[in-house]
Amino acid sequence: MPIVTIAHETGSGGPDIGMALAERLGYRYVDREMLSQAAKQYGVVEDKLTKLDETKPSLFERFDVETRQYITILQSGLLDVADQDNVVINSRGGQILLRGIAHVLRVRVIAPFDIRVKRVTKKMTESGESVDLRTTTDMVRRSDNEKSGRIRYLYDVDWSDPALYDLVINTEKLSVDAAVELIVGILRRPELAVTGASRQAVRDRGLASRVRAALATNPETRKYRINVEADEGIIQLEGTAALEKATEIARTVPGVVDVKSQLLDVPPIPPFVA
């Protein structure tokens, strides 16, 4: 069955649509639990993983080896979920990590800013929180900026670019039920049928990501930038150092059939010319 990723603006109703869609299809709806699962699997601190998932890194963190490690684990966690099929994923970069795969429908849910502010204010008031319009406005705007900045940093793309999505839904007029009906109708299209090639593509991306995570969490390889690709279970490693150890580590990852490596030459430093 197709995989659905749902990216959403705060207050647009994206999670409500995602949960209702999963119930309608008999799928799992996966949100924050993928972070807990990834943290447990790779032995990292969940709070740090959550922080990176929710906010853009500081200037210092962008050059930190540990930040790169957590980014790799974050991506691996999402791809591991996608590999299980029959899921609706609260996107977290899924629209980028899973692009180009035939049976993945990438959805973005939006609504006008003022409407989103009103919805968030109403929801917080109903839950017993004391809020005012200005506070909620600032919170929604900050959430938008954090999501945009995080996706820009992680993938160098504009989060709002419609080309990243197969379907953009504006909930200004459409109800949750209407949005679900729209998505279900599209999922029935033959263009989204699961094929052997599309399933293998998801498996390979997940496998390559697990190898990257294994390299990122090993003290002997974590400081090196090693490119990892997978093709039907065969891992291709490319880098300028530590490839022998990287190959050894990659072979321990479940699902790896074979490992090939290519040592890249370090370009010479050009002579200084006054």
Tell me the pLDDT of the chain (274 aa) as tens digits.
Answer: 789 999 999 999 999 999 999 999 999 999 878 888 888 888 777 787 777 777 766 666 666 677 778 888 888 889 988 988 889 999 888 999 999 999 999 999 999 999 999 999 988 888 888 888 888 999 999 999 988 888 888 888 999 999 999 999 999 999 999 999 999 999 999 999 999 999 999 999 999 999 999 998 899 998 888 999 999 999 999 998 899 999 999 999 999 999 999 988 766 555 544 4
pTM of the model: 0.86
Q: Return the pLDDT at 59.
A: 61
- Cα–Cα distance between 47 and 189 in angstroms, integer? 40
Q: Return the pLDDT at 160.
A: 92
Set out the domains of the chain in order of their start, with CATH numbers. 3-192 (3.40.50.300), 196-263 (3.30.70)
Q: Return the pLDDT at 169.
A: 97
Q: Return the pLDDT at 147.
A: 87
Q: Return the pLDDT at 74.
A: 85
Q: What are phi and psi of 50, to 5 degrees?
A: -65, -40
